Copies of this chain bind each other. A is one copy, B any other.
Amino acid sequence: MGSVARITHISARSDAGFDDAIRLGIHRAGETLRNVPGAWVKDQKVEVSDGAISSYQVVLEVTFVLDD
């Protein structure tokens, strides 16, 4: 008849790129949260060291269905 989900925000950082940071965040969310159907990429950031990009960071809005 109905269902309830929670929406949370996760920040993930990777040396390898934005795609890897997204995968890292989704993987980590899956360890504690079951039933994650998807995530929005809300923000993207690079960190710079000595003039070069040293890491990639994303903020994800993750939805997960609450267990019944």
Q: How large is the interface on A (under 10, 10 to 19, 20 to 34, 35 or more residues)?
A: 35 or more
Residue from A2, A7, A9, A20 with most neighbouring chain B CB atoms (10 Å): A2
Known: A2-B15, A7-B10, A8-B6. A48 touches B37 (CB 8 A): yes
Q: How many copies does the complex hold?
A: 12
| A19-52 to B contact mask, C-beta < 8 Å, 1/0 | 1111111111010000011111101111110011
Given B11, B16, B26, which contacts A53 in the complex, CB threshold below 8 Å? B26
Instruction: Name 12 extra pairs, CB < 8 A, besides A26-B46, A37-B47, A41-B44.
Output: A1-B15, A2-B12, A2-B24, A3-B13, A5-B13, A6-B8, A7-B10, A7-B59, A26-B51, A36-B48, A41-B45, A41-B46
